[in-house]
Structure 1
Amino acid sequence: MIWTLGAIPISLLVIGTPIFVLLLTGAILTFLSFLTVSPVAIHQIMFGGLENYALLAIPFFIFAGELMGAAGIADRLIVWVLALIGRVPGSLGVATVGASTLIGAISGASVATVAAVGKSLYPGLIRDGYGPRFASGLVSSSGAIDILIPPSIAMILYGAAAEQSIPKLFVAGVLPGLLIALMMAAFVVVRAVQMDIPRSGKFDLRQFLCTSWGALPALFMPAFVLGVIYFGYASPTEAGGFACLYAMIVGRYVYRSMSWGEVLEAAARAAMLTAQILVIVATAALFSWILTISGVPRAMTEWLQSMQLAPWMFLMTINIILLIIGCFLDPTSAILVLTPLLMPLVKSVGVDPIHFGIVMTANLAIGMFTPPFGLNIFVARSVLGVPLETIYRGVLPFAVVQIVALLIITYWPDLSLVLTRSI
């Protein structure tokens, strides 16, 4: 069984096989070789993995993000952030972090943010003297903040897999996400001063008010979504539906920048991305079921208890493991495969599952831009036209900054939990 559940899937991963294929291959081979259960159970378990009300939020938030992108919302947010930053040293670099954070609060899709921000701000970063290495690293790493800033697809998946409250996870991700953004911005300011980067402009109140008026409908959307969830007026799924309707109205009738044809195109893109995620959900459910009946979680729990690790040592070990895994797996796959295995361990050492969800998400967010297979790196290479080796070197300082932030998030649980206590 070690071969079918371990060696074969890892070999398929190394040669670039899609995640759902390697999970399904390992599971089917295990069924045929070692289990006495009828193979008819395969499709029953896979479809059973999709029978979770929380998963309904995924297509809504993906569609809302696609609609906001088609309406040109990202460009308005970028202009607003630039007007807000004013004469801060490294203002364009700080604006890159700020724009990524705001766009993440709308779309929750890291790769889409890298593409949008990279197209708009990378030429200006190069013009101001940041250099291809620093600029490409900044764009690639800033997009990873989206994984932690709600609404987050990764948190929805974790909530479904760990049977935890998605509203609490959304709220718990706010302060950690802002912490990472602030530390990234502070690092950019320090480096801009060291590199003698010129300021991009000055703060102009009139310009700021004008851009704020234009960006107000876009800025209101994440506040509305989180507000109705936080105060209990709507579930995440219902809030996602409202977000789609709101994005459609704003793009079609307020900004008048989106046709009905573009709405249909956004729906098609959202359907494709939803299908890609849910096929991983189904195959991961099958793979996790086999691991569970094989006694893997129980064996891992007993092994951990025999080591008598303190909670801080357990979290440090998990951080190291997740950082390594994040270099090879995307957050969706990693969360769906690992969460059922790790939850018994988390509960056995007394770590809060909501706090652990934020820790896990923060780890996998770093994996989005770390070599060799960080998705953001490949998107940046495609959009920016920068060689991979340049991006690899560029992301390393930002990885260090986010790892420091990760340690703060890990060992300061109140940062994640303080806002959840009123829900």
Structure 2
Amino acid sequence: MIWTLGAVPVSLLVIGTPIFALLLTGAVLTFIFYLTVPSIALHQIMFGGLENYALLAIPFFIFAGELMGAAGIADKLIVWVLALIGRMPGSLGVATVGASTLIGAISGASVATVAAVGKSLYPGLIRDGYGPRFASGLVSSSGAIDILIPPSIAMILYGAAAEQSIPKLFVAGILPGMLLALMMAGFVVVRALQMNIPRSGRFNLREFLATTWGAAPALFMPVFVLASIYLGFASPTEAGGFACLYAMIVGLYVYRTMSWNDVLEAAARSAMLTAQILVIVCTAALFSWILTISGIPQGLTNWLQSLNLESWAFLMAINVGLLIVGCFLDPTSAILVLTPLLMPLVKTVGIDPIHFGIVMTANLAIGMFTPPFGLNIFVARSVLGVPLETIYRGVLPFAVVQITALLIITYWPELSLILTRAL
């Protein structure tokens, strides 16, 4: 089975085959040449991979993010963050990090955040003297915070694949996400001082209160969604549905920046993105099932036990492996394929599955902007018009900052787990 489950998928990945196609090809070839299971099982396993209530939250949160984007909410959040930051060193760079974090708390889509923040703030970053390399690297890497800040589609997928509580994963991601944002902002401030970037604007209480009033409906959305989950009023799926209704009311009747035609267009885009995710869910379920019946997870568990690794060494090895995987696979594909494979190992070593979910998410968030295939890099190139080599060089210092944050998240489990104990 090595060639059908290993060589063929890797070869297809190298030539740029879509993830669902390479997983399906490897699984079908294994069915044909190695398994005696009836072919009808192939369809049953694929569609059985969708029989998970947690997955219903995905289209709702995607739709809510699209609606908020169509309503121009990102622009109001950016203006609010700029008014809040005031005259601190590197204020526009820090505002880029803050805006990415806030937008991530609404949409959970990293590439959408890169596009929104890049269009609004990149020209100002260049005007202030940050330079194309630093500015493009900042925009590309800041979008990765979205994957760690709840509500996160990556966490929903991990919760479904690992059979873990999604509300606990959401709350576990709050402090690590804030740590990541603070470390990014701190780095920007230091670099702004070193580069003698002029301070832009100043804090004005009247302006801040005015922008807060204008951005209040947008700022209240993540509070409304997460509070409804944590207080037990709604499941993540129900909260996602409420978020869609809330976004429509804000866009249509509060800001009046969206028409019903915009709602339909947002629904169409959401349907396409949901289909792209769920087709990977189907094929990954089939691929993982074949790996399981082939005894690969059990073999890895036995091999790990024979090594007698401490948990810290296991986590370091996992971090290195996931960082490499993140350079080639998007978080959705990596989580769905690797989680069933890694969970037996995690339980063997005695690592909390919720903590491991945050570690895995943080790793794959870094992969969103690391060469050669980080999705944020290609979005930034398209939106900003910056050459790839410039972005590649620009993201490297931010990768170092985020890897440092990853090590803190990895070896300080309480950062992830302390809030979950309140649930």
Q: Same fold (TM over 0.5)?
A: yes
Query: How far has the Cα of 1:200 moved from its partner?
Result: 1.2
Q: Is 1:21 matched up with 2:21? A: yes
Amino acid of the structure 2 residue aligned with 1:153:
I
CA RMSD of aligned residues (A): 0.3
User: Structure 2 length normalisation: TM-score?
Assistant: 1.00
Query: How far has the Cα of 1:382 moved from its partner?
Result: 0.3
Counterpart-to-counterpart distance in 2, 1:23 and 1:39:
16
SS at match of 1:88: coil
Q: Is 1:87 matched up with 2:87? A: yes
Amino acid of the structure 1 residue aligned with 2:400:
V
Matches within 5 A, 1:9-408: 9-408=9-408
SS at match of 2:419: helix
Amino acid of the structure 1 residue aligned with 2:28:
I
Instruction: State how many pairs are aligned.
Output: 423
Per-residue CA deviations over 1:330-386 (Å, capped at 9, x if unaligned) read 000000000000000000010000000000000000000000000000000000000
Counterpart-to-counterpart distance in 2, 1:199 and 1:277:
42
Match of 1:417 in 2: 417
Per-residue CA deviations over 1:295-326 (Å, capped at 9, x if unaligned) read 00000000000000000000000000000000
Counterpart-to-counterpart distance in 1, 2:383 and 2:329:
22
Counterpart-to-counterpart distance in 2, 1:16 and 1:92:
37
Amino acid of the structure 1 residue aligned with 2:14:
V
Query: How far has the Cα of 1:231 moved from its partner?
Result: 1.0
Query: How far has the Cα of 1:34 moved from its partner?
Result: 0.2
Per-residue CA deviations over 1:4-38 (Å, capped at 9, x if unaligned) read 00001000001000000000000000000000001
Per-residue CA deviations over 1:50-81 (Å, capped at 9, x if unaligned) read 00000000000000000000000000000000
Counterpart-to-counterpart distance in 1, 2:280 and 2:133:
34
**Structure 1: 4+ residue segments shifted above 3 A:** none
Per-residue CA deviations over 1:154-188 (Å, capped at 9, x if unaligned) read 00000000000000000000000000000000000
User: Structure 1 length normalisation: TM-score?
Assistant: 1.00
Counterpart-to-counterpart distance in 1, 2:121 and 2:198:
15
Counterpart-to-counterpart distance in 2, 1:210 and 1:168:
35
Unaligned 5+ segments in structure 2 are none
Counterpart-to-counterpart distance in 1, 2:301 and 2:321:
16
Amino acid of the structure 1 residue aligned with 2:313:
M
Counterpart-to-counterpart distance in 2, 1:265 and 1:150:
25
Counterpart-to-counterpart distance in 2, 1:314 and 1:31:
33
Query: How far has the Cα of 1:147 moved from its partner?
Result: 0.3
Counterpart-to-counterpart distance in 2, 1:385 and 1:41:
48
SS at match of 2:47: helix
Counterpart-to-counterpart distance in 2, 1:412 and 1:231:
26
Unaligned 5+ segments in structure 1 are none
Amino acid of the structure 2 residue aligned with 1:146:
D
Counterpart-to-counterpart distance in 1, 2:291 and 2:147:
27
Counterpart-to-counterpart distance in 2, 1:198 and 1:301:
55
Counterpart-to-counterpart distance in 1, 2:85 and 2:261:
36
Amino acid of the structure 1 residue aligned with 2:143:
G
Counterpart-to-counterpart distance in 2, 1:388 and 1:12:
24
Query: How far has the Cα of 1:39 moved from its partner?
Result: 1.2
SS at match of 1:287: helix
SS at match of 1:150: coil
Query: How far has the Cα of 1:124 moved from its partner?
Result: 0.3
Counterpart-to-counterpart distance in 1, 2:116 and 2:47:
35
Counterpart-to-counterpart distance in 1, 2:252 and 2:198:
38
Counterpart-to-counterpart distance in 1, 2:203 and 2:249:
31
Per-residue CA deviations over 1:121-141 (Å, capped at 9, x if unaligned) read 000000000000000000000
Query: How far has the Cα of 1:329 moved from its partner?
Result: 0.2
